[in-house]
Structure 1
Amino acid sequence: MQTLESLSDALETAEDIHAIVRTMKALSAASIRQFEQAEEALGDYARTVDLGLTALMQDRHARGLPLPRTGAEGSSRTALIVIGSERGLCGRYNETVANHALEQIDGRDTLLAVIGLRAAARLEAAGHQVDTLFTPPGTAAGLYDLVQSVIVQSDKWQRENGIGRIRVVHNRREGRTLSKSVDRQLLPLPDAYLESLLNAPWPGPGLPFFRMSPPALLSWLVQQRLFVVLYRALAEALASEHATRLAAMQGAERNIEERREGLMQDYRVKRQETITRELMDVVSGFEAVSTAQD
C-alpha cells in the first residue's frame, strides 16, 4: 500500500529522471547540428578532390588509357566497416545497422571492422567475429583522427590481409526516417563514379597540367577520396544516432510526464484521505471527551 512518503519519494525520483532526460535532449540536439556542420564544411574539399580525379580521368581518356584500377590486384577478399554507437538509449539504431551489415557479410572470409561497441556486440551475438574495433568520437573534432586511423588500418588490410574490396555500412537520416541503413563501396572506387568523371564538365577553359607522376597522383587522390567518403559516413552516422536518441528521449519525456501526473493525482488523493482521517480522529476524540464530561 502506497503511503504519502513513498509517493513523495516516487515524485522526487520522477523529477530527477525528467531533468536527466531534458539534459540528454539538449545534448543530442546540439550534437546533431555539430555533425551536420562538419559534413557541410567538407563540401569544398570534396569538390576539389573530385576535380582532381576528373582532370586525371579525362587526361587518361585523351591518351587512350582505360579506367585505372584503384584497389589491390589479385584479391577478392572483402573488408566491411560497420558504424554503430558506443552508447545506448538510441532505440533500434544499432539493431538496424547490424542487420544491414549481416546482409553484406560475404561468408566467413569477410574481415569485419566495427566502430562502436554496441554494434560489435550485436554482430558477435550473431556469430561473426569482429577483427578490429574502433571507438566513435564524442564530438566533431574527433572525426579527423578516427578517419585517419581507419585509413591506416585499411592500407594494412590491403598489404597484409590481401583485401581487395572495402565497404562501409552505416545509418543516416533520410526524410522522416531517423536511421536508414546504407552501404557504400570505398575501394576500389566504383567504375560508375569514375565514368561519370569522364563526362563531367570542367569549370574552366581547359584541363590543368600536372607534374606529379600519374600513378602517384592517382594514389594520393584515391586516398583523399577515401577520406572524404569515410568522414561523411561517420558524420551522417553520428547525426543519425543523436537524432534517434533525441526521439527516444522525447518519448521518454512524455512517459515521465504522464507518470508524474498520475503520481501527483495519487498523492493528492492520499493526502486528502490522510487529512480526512485525521479530522475524523479529532472529531471522534472531541465527542468522546464531551460524552465523558456529561
Structure 2
Amino acid sequence: MANLKEVKGRIQSVTSTQQITKAMKMVAAAKLRRAQDRITQMRPYSQKLSAIIQNVSAGVDSDQVDNPYAEAKEVGKVLLVVVTSDRGLCGGFNSSIFKHTKALVAREYADVEAAGNLMLMPIGKKAYDHFKKRGYNVIEDYHHLFSNLDFAHALEAAEFVMSEFLEGEFDKVEIIYNEFKNVATQIVRNEQFLPVQNVSAEDDAPAETIDYIYEPNQKFIFSEIIPKSLKIQFYKTLLESNASEQGARMTAMGQATDNAGELLKELKLTYNRTRQAAITKEILEIVGGAEALAQGG
C-alpha cells in the first residue's frame, strides 16, 4: 500500500489537473459560442448563393457562357486541402482527419501519390506537423490561418487554390474537414472543391425556375458569381472546422474534468484507508509495548 506522502502528492497533482481542464472547458465554451454564431450566420448565405447559382445555371446557355472552374480534366495531379486545429487536447478531432485522409489517398489516389503528383495543403498546425513529418508534399503557406481566422485571410488561400487549378497545376481539389453538427458530434467530410460539380446533381428535386433580369449580361454575372461562391464555400469550411474544434475541446475537457473527479474520490479513499492503517499500526505497537512492560514488571 502506498504511503501517505505519495497519495497526498497524487491528490494535489490530480486536483491541479482538474482545475486546468475545468478552465479549458470554460474557455472552449466561450469560443464555441462565438464560432457557432459565425457558422449559423454563414450557412443561410452560403445555401442561398448555391441556390441562385443552380437557378442561374439552369437558364444559361453553356455555349455562350464559359465556366473554367467546372472544366473536368483527366486526374493526374491532385490537391487535398486538410483542415485541422492548431492545438491538441480536443479528443479525436485531429486524428479522425488524419485517418480519413490516409484512407482516401490509399483508396483513390495511390497511383497519383506514387507518381509524386499528390499535394497536401494543410490548414492548422497539427495537420502541417503530421504530414510534413511523414514526408508528404506539403504547401506550407497557409497552415497558420486559424491564428487569425477572417474572410480576408481565407480569401488569399481560396484564390491561391483557384488560380493553381486554372493554371493547370492541379486537375482536382478536395477539402477534408470536420463539419459541425452539435457540441458532441463532428462529422468528417471530404468534398470536391474543384472542378465545380453540377449543383442539381446533388438533389433530385428540379431547380426552381426564376426569370432573372441580367445586368449587364449573363456572361458577366456568371463569371462573377461562381468565383465568389467558391470563396464563400472555402471560408464556410474553415468556420465549420473552427466550431467543431471548440465543441470537441469542450467535450474532451468536460470528460477529463469528470474523470479527474472520479480519480480524486478513489485517491481520497486510499488516503483515508492508508491513514487509518497507519494509526491502527501505531496503536497496536503502543498496546504491545505496554503489555511487554507490564509482563516485565
TM-score (norm. length: structure 1): 0.79
Structure 1 partner of 2:30:
30
Specify every segment of 5 or more residues in structure 2 that has no aligned partner in the other structure, as ranges: none
1:248 partnered with 2:252:
yes
Structure 2 residue corresponding to 1:184, chosen from 191, 198, 203:
191
Q: Are 1:135 and 2:134 an aligned pair?
A: no
- Residue 112 of structure 1 corresponds to 120
Structure 2 equivalent of residue 272 of structure 1 = 276
- 1:55 to 1:126, Cα distance in 2 relative to 1, 3 A: same
Match of 1:239 among 213, 220, 243: 243
1:210 aligns with 2:198: no
Distance 2:20 2:57 in 1: 54
For residues 18 and 195 of structure 1, the distance between their equivalents in structure 2, rounded to whole angstroms, comes to 47
1:51–1:276 distance in 2 versus 1, CA, 3 Å:
closer
Q: Which moved more, 1:179-188 or 1:239-248?
A: 239-248
Alpha-carbon separation, structure 2, partners of 1:36 and 1:12: 36
Residues 69 and 153 of structure 1, relative CA distance in 2, 3 Å threshold: closer
Cα deviation, residue 176, structure 1: 9.5
More displaced 10-residue stretch of structure 1: 99-108 or 259-268: 99-108
One-letter amino acid matched to 2:243: A
Task: Note the C-alpha offset of 1:11.
Answer: 0.7
- CA shift for structure 1 position 171: 1.8
**TM superposition shift of 1:15:** 0.6
The AA in structure 2 aligned to 1:169 is: I
Q: CA deviation at 1:125?
A: 5.4
Aligned counterparts, 1:21-100, within 5 A: 21-47=21-47, 49-50=49-50, 52-54=52-54, 56-61=56-61, 65=64, 68-71=67-70, 76=75, 77-100=77-100
SS in 2 for 1:42: helix
- Partner of 1:163, secondary structure, is coil
- Which string of whole-angstrom CA distances, capped at 9 and with x for unpartnered residues, describes residues 207-254 of structure 1? 13311x544433321222112212222222222223333333333233
Partners in 2 of 1:219 and 1:154 — Cα distance? 17
Answer yes or no: is 1:14 the counterpart of 2:21. no
RMSD over aligned Cα atoms: 3.6
2:261 equivalent among 257, 261, 267: 257
In structure 1, list runs of 5 or more residues that go unmatched: none
Q: Which amino acid aligns with 2:31?
A: S
| 1:251-277 CA-partner distances (Å, limit 9, x unpaired) | 323332222112101111122233334
Partner of 2:177: 170
Q: How far 1:160 sits from its partner (Å)?
A: 5.4
The aligned amino acid for 1:94 is N
Calculate percent identity across the aligned residue pairs.
20
Q: Measure, in 2, the Cα distance between the counterparts of 1:176 and 1:249.
A: 12
Give the superposition deviation at 1:287. 6.6
**Shift, 1:55, TM fit:** 5.9
SS at match of 2:78: strand
Post-superposition Cα deviations, 1:160-204, rounded to whole Å, max 9, x if no partner, equal: 5622332211122458973432111222221244897x953257x
User: Contact 2:174–2:190 at 8 Å: present in 1 too?
Assistant: yes
C-alpha distance in 2, partners of 1:189/1:74?
11
SS at match of 2:146: coil
The count of corresponding residues between Structure 1 and Structure 2 is 287
TM, length-normalised to structure 2 = 0.78
